[in-house]
Structure formats: C-alpha cells, structure tokens
Chains A and B, each alone.
Chain A
Amino acid sequence: MIYVTDGSFEGILAAVFEAFRNREDPEEITLGGDFQLSIAAGIREIPTDTGKSDRVWRGVQNRISEKSLEDLYLAYLSEHPRVGLYIYRYIKLGLKLGHKVEEYLQHPDVQAIYDLSRRVSKEVHLFLGILRFKKLKNGVFYACYEPDNNITQLITEHFASRLSDQAWIIHDRKRDVFALHNGEEVVFTTGLSGIVHEDCEEEYEELWRRYFTTIAIESRKNLKLQRSFMPRRYWKHLTEKQL
C-alpha cells in the first residue's frame, strides 16, 4: 500500500496513525502527490488530520527520548523521498523498544533517521556561518540561499537573537519561503519572489571580498580542502565568491 500525504509533518504522522489502525506496513509514505506508481501496490490518500497526528506525537513522547523526537523532526526537514517511511518504522520500533531505540544504530531504519538528522543539523550549522546578508537600498538586510534541506525555520531563530535590531529577510529561493524580521518578530511567508529588489550597497561587499582574498596564504593554497568545507553548490550566493 502506498500512503499519499500532503508532505507536512502532521500529514506523515497522520499516515503513521492510519498504518497502525489498519494494521498494515505501507510500502511508501510519500511527501505529496509526486511519486513512482507501482503496479502491485494500492494507493491510500491520507488527509492531514491534526487530531490523529497529535495522538501519535503524544504517544511517542511518552515512549522515546527527547533526542529521538528531535531526530525525527530534523530528519523530516531533509525532504528525503523515503523519510515518511523511515519515520513510520522508527516510531514503530520506538514504541516497542522505548528509549533504547536511539541506541539501536545497528538497525538500518534507526541509522537512516540518524543520518538524515545529522545531515540537516550539519547544514543548519554551516548556514549559520555562510548565509550572507546584503544591505538593500531601503536599509533592509536581505539574504538569499538555496539549502538542500528545509532549514529556514531553524536558522531564523539564531539570526533573530543575533541581529535583533535589524530589519532582515531570509529567502529560501528553492522553496519560495521567506522569513521576515522587522526588528521585533519573525513572520514566515511565501510568494514574495520578484518583489525584493536586490540592488545593494557595494562598499562593504568589496571590503569583504578584498579581505577574503588577502587572508589566504599563497603557499598553503588548497582549493580541494576549501571545497570540502564549502561545497561549490553553495557559492552562488556567497558574496566573497562573486567577483
């Protein structure tokens, strides 16, 4: 059976609920309607029902550790096509093993959630460093990026406390997600693409680029090492890489 969800975390949890109720192991739990049809499997559309998802979440909260819950949510943000299924299997195992599930790294499903969660938190940490704001002509600081994972919500918290007196926008261009900060609170929204004019002040951009090229020691040049920390796909929005 293939379970089709709307791709939200609640949607996946609702699918977990249905799977338990129907006493069946789904072959897939999809994130949205975009999936591979398989001839043998039937399709079950899962409406997102927060009553059901809440019940699942409360149920696991009592059984598995904080760390496991966090791993599940972080893994979800990876948007990996199979993450729905991994979450289902992890929860099923968690209900059986309790807190121990977190340690059961020999188990492929536990390892899968662990890996995805790590992948997401690594990207979060990376972007706390490599997100770049430009100062637009209207005084607003604007940062545009295209992360692999859906991490805007996670990085926003950091910048809200760090750059608390600034008006800024963080824009995930891949997902068309915007976080707007007006100096007091953050609002998430979509569908603003094209509204932001990217004209910005150049003075500090130029100073930063000059600093960046100067600080490298020529006789230690190691571009491979540089790329291993800062893969090329991220360069597009890096001020210091736009010459």
Chain B
Amino acid sequence: MKLLDKLQILADSAKYDVSCSSSGSSRSNRPGGVGNASLPGICHSWADDGRCISLLKVLFTNVCIYDCKYCVNRSSNDIRRASFTPDELCELIIQFYRRNYIEGLFLSSAVIRNPDYTMELMIKALRKLRHEYRFNSYIHIKSIPGADMRLVHEAGLLADRMSINIELPSVSGLKLLAPQKDPGSILEPMGYVRERIMESRELVLYKKPQSFVPAGQSTQLIIGATPDSDLKILTLTERLYRNYQLKRVYYSAYVPVNSDENLPSIYTSPPLLREHRIYQADWLLRFYGFRAGELLDENHPNFDIHLDPKCDWALRHLDQFPVEINKAPLEMLLRVPGIGYRMAAKIIRARRIGPLGFEDLKRMRVVLKRARYFITCSGRYYGGIDPDSGLLYQLLSNKADNKVMAGQISMFG
C-alpha cells in the first residue's frame, strides 16, 4: 500500500480524538537533534472544521479486536485497514517537522492482537523516533486500556504527554457501548501515571531527573453518545482534575459513524454547541475558581444552551451583582460575565492609577456587551435596565447569533 493511502486511512480513523495541544513541555534542542518543545504550544494550521492542527494525529494501526459500538474502527465495520511500519512513521514525522507542518506526534492505536502487543509496537516506534531519528520535539501517546503497567511506564519515559481516554462519562455507558472494556482498565493506569509523575518530580530534588510525561496526562469524554447530564460530566471532570491531577480533559461532540440501537440515530448532528458550553465550563473550573456544584445542581443539571455558563450562573445569582469595578477583588471580577482573565488583570492594573469610569473601560477595550449589566463604575450603573426584570435573559442569550467556537481552540494549554 502506498504511504499516501496509509496516511489517509490512519489519519481518518484518528480524527475523532480531539486533543491536539502541544503545550506544557519545554525542551531545548541538543546538538545533532531535531527540534525542541515550546512551552505555550503552537498551532500549525486549522482544518476546514476550524480545529487547530498542532500534532500529526494518527493511529499506529486501525486493525482492532474490539467492537466498541460508537467507534469507526470497531471490528465489525467493513473499512480499509492499515498499519505503519516504525520507519514510515518516523520518516513522516521528521520530514513534516523539518517543513514546519507540525509540532510533533500524537500517536494512538486500535488494539491489534492484544493491548500489550499493541503498546509494544507503539513503544518500538517511539524509541526509534527518539533515539535513531533523534526527534526532540513533542510526543503525545495514547495509552492502550488493559496494557501492562510496565509498558505504560516505558511509554511515559518517551512521551511528553500521555492520555488514557475515558470516552464515556459513566460506567453504565461504558458497559453498554464498550462491553469488552473493563472500566478499571482506564482508571488504574491513570492513577499509576499520576504516581509516576509525582515521583519523577521528587527525584529531581536529589538526582538527575528521569523525565516522565513532563506535560502531564489528559483524557477525552464523548458528549452526547450517552444520556449523561452536564452535571455528571462536570463532576467527573472536577474529580479528574483534583484526584488525578490531569492537565486537560477534552470533550468530543459525538459524531455518529455507526448505527446501533443503543446509540443516537446516525442522522443526529454532533452537539457542537453543548460541547462548546462544556469547554467553557471546564475553563471556569480550571481558571476562574468555580466549582462544578456551583455551576450546576440536581435541580439544574444541564446548562442553558443559549447562555454561556458564566451568564447562566450569574443570572441565578443576581444577589451578588452588580460589583463595583474599582473595588471588587480579582475573584469577583472574574465572575462577571464577559470579563475574562486578561481584562480582569488589566482593570486591576489600571485602577491603581486612578478610578475607572465607564468610558475608561471602553477605551481599554473591555467588552461591555454583557458585563455592563453586572457592574458599577464608581457607584454608577450603566446597564440601563432593571437587572431583576426578565429582560436580562433576552439580552444575554444568543438564540439569534449562534456562534459556535470549538472550545479547545482559543483555550488550548
């Protein structure tokens, strides 16, 4: 088979994995080596779906022994199958990298023969890439559920980031749609990787560091293949960040590729807006000091799709608003709809010079479209309406302009 066809097949079957970020690792080049890793991450292109291309995202093989219901590569599907040889893959990476097409590699795989065998093949290719081809830049490897911890460890020494995809946000979903996978086989390696990461950080203190997935681990959840609520998803996310110290949780709006009685119909379009809302909420958890239980609860288990989650929250907590722009602490500024991290920092800097009025905010390019209803400037309110009237919802919801932004893009890192 021609390399061109292989690449097409193995990229096509990898494209539903959303993670593409190349951030979080910083490594300088060494003499005779190819490449370095850049801390903030670099996007190299944007595909026609608007998603960033940073890493060459391919499967090592799409030959699979499993039959997960939601997956294109499941064994019962009649599709073209291919596998890379380690050299083909290495050469492709190096040549793409030298032309500045990519930041590095995201290697995943279907399960060929058994999990250990698959993992060994991937490790062999990575070892070659690192040692023979002297590739020094970013590698993200997806660990195969069910593989031996010894192999997980070995892979972790070669990669910058490792992910173990949970895919389905609940055990019941997993049992229904991926019956051959053991839920334990996902969380166990996640815990293992967390331990090894912490250990390698401690080692740094007294001997030469052995770098183990320096950019941390991540996972992916599929949105909309199962009936799980936003609350359920966010609670899981929060646990993953807290207990497993994941760097990122990625979300992937379910794109139907197979028909099955337990799956949404093949004609459903992917819930992109919902995915976007969940990304926004994820952002609020990580950087804005929100907890999942504040954003949603049993009485309100799903986000209003027409509001961004911060607005949704603010409308249910009007008693905390308006906040005075010249006095509010950072934590509270960050809770104002429409004010992001950069703006909050700007406001705090500028108000040290003198009190800020509404016009000053405009000049500083604070976007006031939403914020104006939630703030006062030196005691004056510029919202022009009574916040308690039902009008606010109308003004804030974007039923009219449905701008869908895939969350990962402006928010990578």
Contact = CB atoms under 8 A, between A and B. Distances in A.
B3 A207 contact: yes
A75 B25 CA distance: 29
Given A106-B356, A111-B363, A208-B99, A215 B53 contact: yes
B224 to A, nearest CB: 12
A100 B349 CA distance: 9
Contact of B36 (A106, A162, A213): A162
A115 B406 CA distance: 26
Contacts of B360: 106
B42 interface: yes
Contacts of A132: 99-101
Contacts of A214: 7-8, 11-12, 15
Contacts, number: 162
A208 B101 contact: yes
Nearest to A217: B49
Interface stretch (A146-154, A173-181, A225-233): A225-233
Interface stretch (A7-15, A32-40, A42-50, A163-171): A163-171
A136 B413 CA distance: 35
A125 interface: yes
A219 B255 contact: yes
Contact of A106 (B4, B33, B103, B353): B353
Contacts of A111: 363-365
A104 B350 contact: yes
Given A106-B363, A204-B95, A162 B35 contact: yes
Nearest to B41: A129
Interface residues of A, number: 56
Nearest to B350: A105
Interface in B297-346: 346
A232 to B, nearest CB: 12
B44 A130 contact: yes
Contacts of A102: 349
B305 to A, nearest CB: 17
A69 interface: no
Contacts of A165: 32-34
A211 B11 contact: yes
B31 to A, nearest CB: 8
B270 A143 contact: no
Contact of A225 (B16, B29, B255, B406): B406
B319 to A, nearest CB: 31
Nearest to B5: A210
Given A106-B360, A220-B255, A215 B352 contact: no
Interface in A83-136: 100, 102-106, 108, 111, 115, 125, 128-135
Interface in B47-68: 47-54, 56-57
Contact of A217 (B45, B255, B405, B409): B255
Nearest to B99: A133
Contacts of A115: 365
A129 B36 CA distance: 14
B349 A103 contact: yes
Interface residues of B, number: 62
A10 B7 CA distance: 51
A226 B99 contact: no
Given A225-B50, A240-B45, A100 B353 contact: yes
A127 to B, nearest CB: 9
A22 interface: no
A211 B12 CA distance: 9
Given A105-B349, A133-B98, A229-B43, A222 B56 contact: no
B333 to A, nearest CB: 15
Contact of B409 (A211, A229, A238): A229
Contacts of A216: 15, 47-49, 51
A67 to B, nearest CB: 11
A238 B365 CA distance: 32
B50 A226 contact: yes
Interface in B208-244: none
B364 A220 contact: no
Given A141-B99, A214-B12, A222-B404, A129 B364 contact: no
A103 B353 CA distance: 7
Given A214-B15, A222-B404, A229-B50, A106 B28 contact: no
B364 A105 contact: yes
Contacts of B255: 217, 219-220
A212 interface: yes
Given A204-B99, A215-B15, A217-B49, A128 B42 contact: yes
13 contacts: A106-B353, A115-B365, A129-B54, A133-B99, A161-B28, A161-B29, A210-B8, A214-B11, A214-B12, A216-B47, A217-B16, A225-B49, A229-B50
Interface of B: 3-4, 7-8, 11-12, 14-16, 28-29, 32-36, 38, 40, 42-54, 56-57, 92, 95-96, 98-101, 103, 137, 253, 255, 269-270, 272, 346, 349-350, 352-354, 356, 360, 363-365, 404-406, 409
7 closest A-B pairs by beta carbon, nearest first, are: A225-B50, A216-B47, A220-B49, A222-B50, A216-B48, A103-B349, A106-B360
